[in-house]
A and B are shown apart, each in its own frame.
Chain A
Amino acid sequence: MKKIILLFCLIISFSVIFAQQKSVTGRVTDEANDPVPGATVIAKGTTSGTVTDADGNYKIKISETSKILTISFIGFEPQDVNISDKSIADVKLKLSSIGLEEVVAVGYGTQKKANLTGSVQSVKGETLAKRSTIQTSQALQGMAAGVTVTSNSGKPGKEGTSIRIRGIGTLNDNNPLVLIDGVSSSIDAIDPNDIENMSILKDAASASIYGSRAANGVILITTKRGKTDNVSVTYKGSVGITTLLTIPKNASAWDYMALYDEANGNDLRNDLGVPGGYIYGPDKINAWKSATDRDAYPNSDMIREAWKKKAYQTQHYLGFAVGNEKFRSNTSINYSGQDAHMPNSDYKRYGVRSNNSYTMNKFVEVGFDLSIRNTTIRDAAPNDEIQGMMRQPAIYQTRYSNGIWGATYGGTPHTMQFIYDGLNMRYEDYQETLAKIYAKITPFKGMQLDFSYTPKVSMDNYKNVNKTTYVYDYKTGLPVVGPIGLVTNFANMTERRDKTREDDINILATYNKSLGKHDIGILGGFQYLTNLYNTMQAYRQVNNFQQFEEINAYDPTGMTNSGYSNEWALMSYFGRLNYAYAGKYLLEANVRYDGSSRFANGYKWGVFPSFSGAWRFSSENFMQQFNWLSNGKLRASWGELGNQAGLGSNYPFALTVATNQYNVFGGVLNPGYAPVNYALTDITWESTRMIDFGLDLSFFKGKLDATFDWYKKDTRDILLNIAIPGVMGYANSPKQNAGSVENKGWDLSLSHNNTMGKFYYKVTGIISDVQNKITNLGGLAPQVSGVHVKQVGSPIDAIYGLQADGFFSSFAEARAYPVAQYGKLQGGDIRYIDQLTIDTDGDGIMDAADNKLTGTDRVVLGNPIPRYTYSLDVYASYKGFDLTLFFQGVGKRDGYVSGWLSYPFQNASTALVQHLDRWSEANPNPNAAYPRLSINQQSNNLQPSSFWQISAAYARLKNVQLGYTLPSQLLKNKSISSVRFFASGTNLFTMSNMPLGMDPESPETVQNSTPLLSTYTFGVEVKF
């Protein structure tokens, strides 16, 4: 930090030197001659600037050498005024047209938005940065139609964020390709403040230039670069407070005991319906409830005691841009620190990025970009943040009144002690260094050659340190000492180092030519990408010097180590042809030819073409009379993309001998060699075909914009693990090109903006839908896994189970029930529908039930893939104030309650408050949320069934942000050009149907990680 502050001061003093003499005044108005307050006035090429006052007036002191003022305000087109011989300059701003001139990044280049033929959505870096999230992926949530972003954890640095562009295309990896300045990367590798622009390539036509890695869509991130005639310094800093969104609550000690006794009685109920005995009994329960000594009669709630209500985070960003005719540079340093809601746990990220380019002469430009980042995570609860605490019913003490830790039911230390004393620590340290050198050669007008070479090295290290842990006697505070069994798990430590080196070579040639009304663009390219991964791991156990968390501090007896390397390579040739006639008729064709080392010879190469066209009908003569329509364009595209991410191995085609099939003879380790995994050599690329029709409309000079896309995406030859007959002697299921999946959907975005005097607002709504269906499963029988099925005709991982039909209302009714369910039934057990599974008359229609419940009675119950994902973004500004409200949600999705939420007492777990609403003999409520209780005879009620399915639709106030930009008059030191204060809140309010302890963003997983967080951030952004 100190270093950053020092640098900060240095830069301030540096920029002060630039501030100088001459004074210019003027008034800024709109076309109706109304004053425009809050407009920015900057001397071009300097840091000197000011903001207009309430009457639109400004006064600026600038260097005598400055010749041009740039005036800009949101919603208007920026305007330059020559002031070389003036001291008064009034300016009339024009409303910005709809950004037809806007240029967006596309594969290997840029394209005017107006000339796009594919489905590309562009998001400005500043919009992402304004969300004030630590991770870029989270800033993207709800920003683009058809892009679904969900997180399953609030654990700092381990949010488990997934990004899905237009549904789930394959049964394998569905992550989009993310390219930061053309280099594949993780989206969270970049600080949101470093982003100039983000482009999301959604359809096959825009993505197919990336061929084999583009099947899930492509996210192109362009980072900020230095500009000619500009010196600027930006500092942005914020502090934040986080709170937990949802957290389960233990039943009280007496409720727990009463429920446990009820469950025990149910489990031991005899065939006459008489319940079995109790474990605690009413006397003990009453005594417990009325007791005052909570050390002897605990009533704890570990989850709520262990999790801190608040945690803090900090972010700093310092950017420095400089540029002239020859040399342009942009350098930034960023730091993010986030504390977890647990002690001994936090996340820190440091990053440096420097983009430099140098124009040698009119033919050659060279550049050098460097990016270094370092992420460290300390995690005191690497395994059991919640589940471990669920196994601590309220009757066991967490911490005695004298501060001594309690113990679990088994007399062992509990999860909270491990976390608070840092006894099971995981340390992660990730470092990545990326350098890109490039050259741009322009041999003649219209022609450009690009060469780049990008080596990237990343080191991923982790340490797991498990310390010897004692149980303490709460009276003496001393470890409970016995002759044996003094400690729980013996101390041990694992350290692992992963190293990845990736080398990316790109060569690109582009040629653009205009001949009258004909515009032609040609692009050809080559890429060679190699990747080498190496890992080493060491383990030791037993340490008598536990303060030292290093391998050498441990006993060498029993130490182990392991290590291996693997590598892959990808080679590609690609090309693109653009043709436009009079800016009205647009055509584009792409092709990519990819070769992968991951397939056997003869199966390595794949061709991925695409074609697209657009008609800008608003430019036709007959449309000129409809001047309310500023832009109208129809688009259509078809393309094919590849995917190899589902292989799971770099050598899926190779049948190898495992050399680790050890056996013990005569007490000695003997080597054993055997082929373990069967391999099929004839596997090749998955391919995705996608068709897209789009319509772009813009009305009233951009006051209203609409974009609509309809698409259909078919993925074929999906690489599936298909079981082979066990008699072949292999336990694995090798990859085969077998499945097909279809996605159909649409994306719609609508936006409206307007200026009313000093008030500007913009409302953007997006909504999209996708319907997913497996169309072929390679002849496999439905693949059932837990409550999910993969079967032809259903969405991927559809929820699959029995149809529940209420509870049995009494023991007698349950026992008299003619259909054989699971185990011995009683009142309060779930009754299921016995589906028609027998065809009695041979007509192919099932017309009779078999009077027993088996796997064949399971049916598809629900769809876990979100549909109707939507967001609404409202932005307004008035004078120096700006306000953003951002809602985001899912209209239709099915979730499922499982694990300890559906099963109190599971594996010695506690019961939760919601389990009080159960069916019992005393209160046979047919609408109870839980069936009759049981400790271990759960075979009937925990069958996958509709009973546990819930709606996971939700609406969430994702972000509210209020900003205030200081009026320029207050900035006495004119070297500061703007100051903005902001307050931002994330995940402020949610409407959903989720039980306490579950979040609609991960509506099936019983949360065993940190719940999602609400974040309140306060910050300042200063520009010099």
Chain B
Amino acid sequence: MNLFIADLIDNTMKKNLIYICLMALLLVTGCDSVIERYPLDVPSAETFYTNETEVQGGVNACYSFVVAGDNRYLVPEYSWDGLSDVVFIRGGGFAQDNMMSTLDFKNGYFRTLWLAIYQGIGRCNLMLEKIEANKDKIAADKVKQFQGEVYFLRAYYYLRLTNMFGDVVYLDKPVTSVADGKAVTRMAKAEVLKKIYADFDKSAELLITSTVKTLGRATWGTAMSYKARAALQNNDWAVAAAAAKSVIDSKKYSIMPSYAALFTEAVLKSATNTEQILTQGHLVTANNATIFTQNTSPRSVAGGTTVIVPTQNMLDSYLCIDGLDISKSPLYLKTKPYDKRDPRLRYSFVLPGDMWNGFIYDTRKDKPTTLNLAGATVKNLDSYNSTEFTSFTGYLVRKYYDFQYVSKLTQCETPFMLCRYAEVLLTYAEAKIELNQIDADCLSAINLVRGRADVNMPAVTAGSQAEMRRIVRTERKVELWNENLRYQDLLRWKRAEVLLSRPILGRPVLGEFDKYPSVSFDEFGDPVYDVASYVAHPSTDYRVLILTNFNKNRDYLWPIPETELSLNPGLGQNPGW
């Protein structure tokens, strides 16, 4: 047997020995090329973007940071409003810390945001260069289309950047070396704004003849609407009014008849949605599906977390159908607090007593059971009695919520409108009011929004500038609730120091509004609470969610992130940080 094995080894070994010797000889005499290895699944950047398909893909990739940031609670469609008084994010560390002013410039989110936006800008600058370089290989109308979209996106990114950081580094060409990247300085926000306007204008000019109407791509109207937004957010009233007016006069957009239907997939995905100006699509396959459903689902949806919920502060801001706030309207009854209110309340919130997910929804502690669709008494999974992690405010988000995702909470594919016509109308109205041009155009812009068929709030008539200011701000708060504009509004109105020093509330645990003092309203239509008088009633209290503590000497701007500052001290820091 040994002999047999030996023989076997002998034979195979001889062959292998020869092979080894040959290989060895080859290798010993070889050179670097023997140990050269390159990626097997992706192209090299140096030789890329040489034809229309590649450039088209490059332009598409410029949209990737239109939603910026990796914090799932802070991605705008999950609610940038969670930074303000109208939406509460449970466990939303950053949002709450920001409102309590406990962050410092080392917080990673600041850099995450900074990096995301500059990645967007970097891609735009690279593509402008590549479009130019490949001009003769791309059809002329495509060149205009590509450039138009990229100019829009670059301005969009700079607008977000200046909103959060004030003066920023302005670049219109790719930076290719680390040394160059460290040598940059910041440009005054006012100067950057001019560049933003110029890019929006260029984009509008290039896209005005475009026939591309694909949902999600920038158009002439998108560029002009964002120019209006940019001007408004910088209190540049004349520019805002003019840009908004051009969108209104173009008659490309109109108010859709139903607010209730506007945020449903049927309308959001339809080409006949005349109100949408920029819509972001989501698909699991594109790795950008959202967890909106998980964050807003009640506890009766298995896996729902009710992390993002409307606040009592917002609920109190909805007027009664007579156009008066709840402290003045005779229609308001504390025992029926949700009745006879602006219909948008019911379109936006899930309220106690609503049939939701097949159950009568109520978080009251004394309601351990509830009724289901069939009228049977079942365990109330949303009651405080079942879990203290039910909605902290007693309300849920209805706007954009879609039941088709309850079995796949983290794969929500609902598109979100990043800009819609109602905002343009309200921008126009506010700019006109601030310019003290309270004319018929101005009133009609507000009344178009209020007069939507299924909203039908009483028309507004001319009033004093202060009165009109209160009206347009309240309208904006209500119409655009949870559409990611509120925080920036509070900053530009310098209202953050007031509203983010008031407590953020949930409803009374037992829902008994009549046991508490009435809410009053300040001159801008925002509710004022006498919290001290609530705290004396343990366990049946209004729920105080956060005692905010906005620092007006610091928090109007976010800090230049730590790492960026240490790489380039020449950037300088914002005041107070």
B-contacting residues of A (Cβ < 8 Å)?
A: 268, 270, 274, 276-279, 281, 324, 326-327, 356, 358, 360, 366-368, 409-412, 437, 439, 451-453, 471, 473, 480, 482-490, 505, 507, 526, 528, 541, 558, 560, 564-571, 595-598, 601, 604, 650-651, 654-667, 669-675, 680, 723-731, 780-781, 784, 822-824, 854-855, 907-908, 936, 939
Contact of B408 among A277, A356, A541, A781 (CB under 8 A): A541
Q: How far is the CA of A268 from the CA of B403 in the complex (A)?
A: 35
Contact of A656 among B43, B116, B538, B540 (CB under 8 A): B43
Residues A356 and B35 in contact in the complex (CB < 8 Å), given A451-B24, A526-B28, A939-B97: no
Within 8 A of A (CB), among B174-192: 174-176, 178, 181-182, 184
> Is there contact, CB below 8 Å, between A729 and B175?
yes
Q: How far is the CA of A601 from the CA of B19 in the complex (A)?
A: 29
Expressed in whole angstroms, the minimum distance between the Cβ of A792 and any Cβ of chain B is 14
> Is there contact, CB below 8 Å, between A655 and B118?
no
> Is there contact, CB below 8 Å, between B126 and A567?
no
Contacts of B57 on A, CB cut-off 8 Å?
659, 661, 670-673
Residues A411 and B381 in contact in the complex (CB < 8 Å), given A484-B358, A665-B214, A673-B58: yes
Q: How far is the CA of A663 from the CA of B58 in the complex (A)?
A: 11
Q: How far is the CA of A659 from the CA of B41 in the complex (A)?
A: 9
Asked if B134 is an interface residue, CB under 8 A from chain A, the answer is no
A-contacting residues of B (Cβ < 8 Å)?
A: 2, 5-6, 9-10, 12-13, 16-17, 19-21, 23-24, 27-28, 30, 32, 34-46, 48-49, 54, 57-58, 60-64, 91, 96-97, 100, 102, 104, 106, 111, 114-116, 118-119, 121-123, 125-126, 169, 171, 174-176, 178, 181-182, 184, 214-217, 269, 280-288, 299-305, 357-359, 372-373, 378-379, 381, 384, 386-389, 403, 406-409, 411, 415, 531-532, 535, 537-541, 544, 547, 549, 561-564, 566-568
Not counting A437-B13, A663-B216, A670-B57, a sample of 20 additional A-B residue pairs whose C-beta atoms are within 8 angstroms of each other reads A366-B13, A368-B13, A410-B305, A437-B16, A484-B358, A486-B302, A489-B302, A489-B303, A571-B34, A661-B57, A663-B288, A664-B281, A667-B269, A671-B57, A674-B58, A723-B567, A731-B116, A780-B566, A781-B566, A939-B102
> Is there contact, CB below 8 Å, between A279 and B54?
no
Contact of B567 among A412, A564, A724 (CB under 8 A): A724
> Is there contact, CB below 8 Å, between B35 and A571?
yes
B125 and chain A: residue at smallest CB distance: A729
Q: How far is the CA of A787 from the CA of B41 in the complex (A)?
A: 38
Contact of A268 among B5, B40, B288, B535 (CB under 8 A): B535
Q: How far is the CA of A908 from the CA of B57 in the complex (A)?
A: 44
Consensus secondary structure, chain A interface? loop
Contacts of B564 on A, CB cut-off 8 Å?
725-726
> Is there contact, CB below 8 Å, between B46 and A655?
yes
Q: How far is the CA of A560 from the CA of B403 in the complex (A)?
A: 23
B100 and chain A: residue at smallest CB distance: A823
Contacts of B181 on A, CB cut-off 8 Å?
724-725, 727-728
> Is there contact, CB below 8 Å, between B389 and A908?
yes
Contacts of B126 on A, CB cut-off 8 Å?
674-675, 729
Contacts of B302 on A, CB cut-off 8 Å?
411-412, 471, 485-489
> Is there contact, CB below 8 Å, between B24 and A485?
no
Expressed in whole angstroms, the minimum distance between the Cβ of B183 and any Cβ of chain A is 9
Q: How far is the CA of A663 from the CA of B415 in the complex (A)?
A: 12
Contacts of B60 on A, CB cut-off 8 Å?
661-663, 665, 670-673
> Is there contact, CB below 8 Å, between B40 and A672?
no
Contacts of A439 on B, CB cut-off 8 Å?
13, 17, 20
8 A-B pairs whose Cβ atoms sit less than 8 Å apart in the complex = A368-B9, A485-B302, A661-B61, A664-B283, A664-B288, A672-B63, A675-B48, A726-B114
Contact of A725 among B13, B178, B384 (CB under 8 A): B178
Contacts of B301 on A, CB cut-off 8 Å?
484-485
Expressed in whole angstroms, the minimum distance between the Cβ of A798 and any Cβ of chain B is 17
> Is there contact, CB below 8 Å, between B539 and A667?
no
> Is there contact, CB below 8 Å, between A453 and B20?
yes
Q: How far is the CA of A824 from the CA of B100 in the complex (A)?
A: 9
> Is there contact, CB below 8 Å, between A356 and B9?
yes
3 nearest CB pairs, A to B: A729-B122, A277-B538, A664-B281
> Is there contact, CB below 8 Å, between A651 and B283?
no
Expressed in whole angstroms, the minimum distance between the Cβ of A673 and any Cβ of chain B is 4
Contacts of B58 on A, CB cut-off 8 Å?
672-674
Q: How far is the CA of A474 from the CA of B186 in the complex (A)?
A: 64
Residues A505 and B27 in contact in the complex (CB < 8 Å), given A324-B2, A483-B372, A726-B564: yes
Q: How far is the CA of A939 from the CA of B98 in the complex (A)?
A: 12
Expressed in whole angstroms, the minimum distance between the Cβ of B1 and any Cβ of chain A is 9
Expressed in whole angstroms, the minimum distance between the Cβ of B286 and any Cβ of chain A is 4
Q: How far is the CA of A601 from the CA of B38 in the complex (A)?
A: 11
> Is there contact, CB below 8 Å, between A726 and B566?
no
> Is there contact, CB below 8 Å, between A526 and B27?
yes
Contacts of B286 on A, CB cut-off 8 Å?
662-664, 669
Residues A595 and B32 in contact in the complex (CB < 8 Å), given A567-B40, A823-B100: yes
Expressed in whole angstroms, the minimum distance between the Cβ of B56 and any Cβ of chain A is 8
A265 and chain B: residue at smallest CB distance: B538
